[in-house]
Structure 1
Amino acid sequence: MELYINEFIPVTAVEGPGLRACLWVQGCSIRCDDCMVPHTWDRKKGKVADTSALLQILRETPGIEGLTVLGGEPMDQAPALLPFLEQVKASGLSLMLFSGYTREAILASGCPYKAAIIDLCDIFIDGPYVKDLTSFDRPWVGSGNQRIFFQTERYRHLENNLHTIENKVEIRITDEGEIAINGMMPKEKFIELQRSFRKI
């Protein structure tokens, strides 16, 4: 089964605890109002991942402690995503994953692939982005309804210390001059940053 992705970054310091790799899947059935990344909605606009190559990169990248998976919506591709994530965890890396579905809705769906993905996570973040509840008081999430589940002891020490973690963004410039931004910030500031680069 093919896994459609939007982007993969081997090393980032803004998508979860420590240095991590980050994978954005392509395709989303939720499509939150005022979503920051609507370009990840249409699965047809993604690329088919070579998961063996991604695993090789993960194993050969020094200093990273885990993988963060966002979207798009990861649970929309649960059957294709699960085998890859099992190998990620088997290699000793931690797993942090975002879903716009609530944990209760995922488990109530009865899908064994989705339930297994939740079980693999060290940190699982659930809930859609809700524009009226926009809040950047906590790291990694954009609205107050979203919940952060620390499911293993690996990051349990962070649970009561989220106030010490700041949201940050990274700006990458490729050799071809392409600019990419990732991390968490208010949408208006993100748009302002985009515009400032277009003027350069």
Structure 2
Amino acid sequence: MEQLYINAFIPVTAAEGPGLRACLWVQGCSVRCEDCMVPHTWDKNKGKATDPSTLLQILAETPDIEGLTVLGGEPMDQAAALLPFLQAVKASGLSLMFFSGYTKEAILESGCPHKAAIIALCDIFVDGPYLKALTSFERPWVGSSNQRIFFQTARYQHLENKLHTIKNKVEVRIGEDGTIAINGMMPKEKFLELRHSLKNIQ
């Protein structure tokens, strides 16, 4: 498999989609939304070159997860490298949730077969850029009201009309070396406030 450039990979999280999931943040972004919470994921050259087979092995050895969530960065920028990896993920029985800053229509109109195939694999596909003027946290997992959540298979369709009952979650991880990582969805000002508070206790 072709190498992926990633920012981070978490084998188990409850904050990045339904149920317990693994989560992959790719590195590199051609969308670059204004006021993005993770601008450190924009530059592909700052990513970690990773063999997808290594990630598949971790997924196979991680009990109790039901799926993988992929976000970024902009995952569609690495569509050719991601496709065989995601096909293997789905073949293993895991579900797939995928975020793109491009609209579904724009991706399909691009004519790229890798991108179209990725969309077809998804149980949940989330599209559209974060738009600061439309910031909204009324729904889980997304930061602005223009972003759409497509429930493309029966696996999670029971959630489609219950999104208002699902609360966003935030997780804080402290590594053995003392590094602190935050993931999940929250207003940017609260994220910065939390990050500042955690830095003060290090």
Per the normalisation by structure 1, the TM-score is 0.99
Q: Given that residues 101 and 128 in structure 2 are in contact (C-alpha distance below 8 angstroms), is that contact kept between their aligned partners in structure 1?
A: yes
Q: Give the CA deviation at 1:152.
A: 0.1
Q: Give the equivalent residue in structure 2 for 1:23.
A: 24
Q: Give the equivalent residue in structure 2 for 1:106.
A: 107
Alignment partners' CA distance in 1, 2:199 and 2:14: 25
Alignment partners' CA distance in 2, 1:50 and 1:2: 5
Q: Give the CA deviation at 1:109.
A: 0.2
Alignment partners' CA distance in 2, 1:145 and 1:43: 26
Which segments of structure 1 move beyond 4 Å, counting only runs of 4 or more?
A: none
Alignment partners' CA distance in 2, 1:198 and 1:163: 33
Aligned: 1:142 with 2:143: yes
Q: Give the equivalent residue in structure 2 for 1:76.
A: 77
Q: Give the equivalent residue in structure 1 for 2:175.
A: 174
Q: Which amino acid aligns with 1:43?
A: K
Deviations 1:27-79 (A, max 9, x none): 00010000000000000000111211100110110000000000000000000
Task: State the superposition RMSD in angstroms.
Answer: 0.5
Alignment partners' CA distance in 2, 1:191 and 1:109: 36
Q: Which amino acid aligns with 2:65?
A: I
Identity over the aligned pairs, expressed in percent?
79
Aligned: 1:155 with 2:156: yes
Alignment partners' CA distance in 2, 1:34 and 1:60: 37
Q: Give the equivalent residue in structure 2 for 1:56.
A: 57
Alignment partners' CA distance in 2, 1:50 and 1:105: 29
Q: Given that residues 3 and 52 in structure 2 are in contact (C-alpha distance below 8 angstroms), is that contact kept between their aligned partners in structure 1?
A: no
Alignment partners' CA distance in 2, 1:77 and 1:51: 12
Q: Which amino acid aligns with 2:25?
A: W
Give 3-state SS (helix, strand or coil) of 1:75's partner.
helix
Deviations 1:86-106 (A, max 9, x none): 000000000000000000000
Deviations 1:134-187 (A, max 9, x none): 000000000000000000000000000001100010000011110000000000
Q: Give the CA deviation at 1:2.
A: 2.4
Per the normalisation by structure 2, the TM-score is 0.98
Q: Give the equivalent residue in structure 1 for 2:92.
A: 91
Q: Which range moved further: 44-53 or 114-123?
A: 44-53
Q: Give the CA deviation at 1:199.
A: 1.0
Alignment partners' CA distance in 1, 2:64 and 2:194: 29
